[in-house]
Structure 1
Amino acid sequence: MSKELISSKSKQKNRPNIEFEHYYTENPTSELIVRNLSLRLKNGHQYIFKAPSGVYGKKRIDKASILLIENVKLTNEKVLDIGCGYGVIGITLKKEFPGINLYMSDINIRAVDFSKINSKNNNVEAVIKQGNLFEPWEHEMFEIIVSNPPIVAGKEVLKTLIKDSKEHLNSNGKLFLVAYHNKGGSSLELHMKEVFGNVIELEKSGGIRVYMSIKRD
């Protein structure tokens, strides 16, 4: 068996049909299959991640996440990667900007488990918690929040993510979201403008946009 592919080999004869199970679920029931995926940035830096089934980006690291990573400039901020999946965005930002304090969370238990594995494998220190949206961070404030949000979760979840992001940002804090503009991104952009009073398209490529809003007093 290839080192790139690990399977639990379970027969699943008596298990329910899980073909349409979304990654935005708390406890995936799909057979665990893990791939080693490589991320190479424009600056030549390369990172390896273990990507499990039942989590977004299980077959490849998506272009949207890479575009977001390459357009966020940091120094020593307190950064939250919300809906972190198996940790690609947060971990890569920590490697690129070692001075940041990294926090990550996801509703998906399997995603959180592999965020911890990938953090360890990439020698990254991070506070990683499981929970829906900002439930794990009730009393925490941040200077930067980044996310490749789960479009499949629906508009109400995404609106809540944006509204609660503002409530968890310090003054002049920034929210960065990335999405395909014609597949939900335009709605995200409009709601960011409504909530924050400002939004800019920081970058666009192949239909993908990176949106940024700043919390003003």
Structure 2
Amino acid sequence: MTEHYYSAKPQVESQQRTIEVDVRGVHLKLTTDRGVFSKGGLDDATRRLLETVELDGSEQVVDLGAGYGIVTAVLGTVFPNTRWTLIDINGRALDLARRNTAPFAHRCTYVQSDGIPDDVGSTFDDVLLNPPIRAGKAVVYRLFSDAHRVLVPGGRLWIVIQKKHGAPTALEELQRTFDSVDTVYKKSGYFIFRAVKGQN
């Protein structure tokens, strides 16, 4: 069986490569490796998320399940006033994320964890998530709860998920956890939900 990317320390031999990404008017060369999610290039779900998310007025953002840092690398360029906390369970991926976001590392904090640590306060305007479907529904729903905990009142969780990967039930879980949930993108089996934390 192929090794799971959702692991703290991938055992598969390292074989780094450079990929090129063009999205949101940004052209980047990024380093990826075996044992990380979507090592061959920008996956379709993350591309749709990147093209949809708006962070005008946001300051503190969590890239939850950051992988090799592609979301932060792109949106940190598009929205230069944002500060980022990149979180991933995969140490190899997080090391790559440090390299790939080096041009604005002074705006980034890197955390190796399988979720948002308990000691993180409710200080974030947005959380962005392409959930680790292969890790299972319990893990994904825990990440929803983690996001709700650390968002400021009015803060937003943005999540991209395919219908075949459980978008309808994920929507129901988001509606149980957050005060309001909008479907901001729906095309070709992909959904992007924007869940907003209440003011109280």
Q: Please give the TM-score of this superposition, normalised by the length of structure 2.
A: 0.92
**Aligned partner of 2:166 among 161, 175, 184:** 184
Unaligned runs of 5+ in 1: 1-18
Cα distance, 1:165–1:44 mapped onto 2, change above 3 Å: closer
**Aligned partner of 2:157 among 159, 175, 181:** 175
**CA–CA separation in structure 1 for the residues paired with 2:108 and 2:172:** 32
**CA–CA separation in structure 2 for the residues paired with 1:141 and 1:45:** 28
User: Could you give the per-residue CA deviations for residues 62-81 of structure 1, whole angstroms, max 9, x where no partner exists?
Assistant: 01111111111113420000
What's the secondary structure of 1:46's corresponding residue? strand
Is residue 2:78 matched to residue 1:58? Answer: no
AA aligned to 2:42 is: I
AA aligned to 1:93 is: L
Aligned residue in 2 for 1:49: 30
Aligned residue in 1 for 2:130: 148
Deviation at 1:136, TM superposition (A): 7.1
Q: Please say if residues 172 and 215 of structure 1, whose CA atoms lie closer than 8 Å, have aligned partners that are also in contact.
A: yes
Whose radius of gyration is greater, 1 or 2? 1
Q: How many matched pairs?
A: 197
Aligned residue in 1 for 2:19: 37
AA aligned to 2:123 is: M
Deviation at 1:123, TM superposition (A): 4.2
Aligned residue in 2 for 1:80: 62
Deviation at 1:204, TM superposition (A): 2.1
What's the secondary structure of 2:180's corresponding residue? coil
Aligned residue in 1 for 2:5: 23
Unaligned runs of 5+ in 2: none
Cα distance, 1:132–1:144 mapped onto 2, change above 3 Å: same
Q: Please give the TM-score of this superposition, normalised by the length of structure 1.
A: 0.85
What's the secondary structure of 1:199's corresponding residue? strand
Deviation at 1:32, TM superposition (A): 0.6
**Aligned partner of 1:90 among 69, 72, 82:** 72
**Aligned partner of 1:138 among 92, 96, 120:** 120
Q: Please say if residues 130 and 136 of structure 1, whose CA atoms lie closer than 8 Å, have aligned partners that are also in contact.
A: no
Deviation at 1:129, TM superposition (A): 1.2
Aligned residue in 1 for 2:145: 163
Deviation at 1:137, TM superposition (A): 5.3
Q: Please say if residues 204 and 210 of structure 1, whose CA atoms lie closer than 8 Å, have aligned partners that are also in contact.
A: yes
AA aligned to 1:199 is: V
Cα distance, 1:89–1:70 mapped onto 2, change above 3 Å: same
Q: Please say if residues 105 and 136 of structure 1, whose CA atoms lie closer than 8 Å, have aligned partners that are also in contact.
A: no
Aligned residue in 2 for 1:204: 186
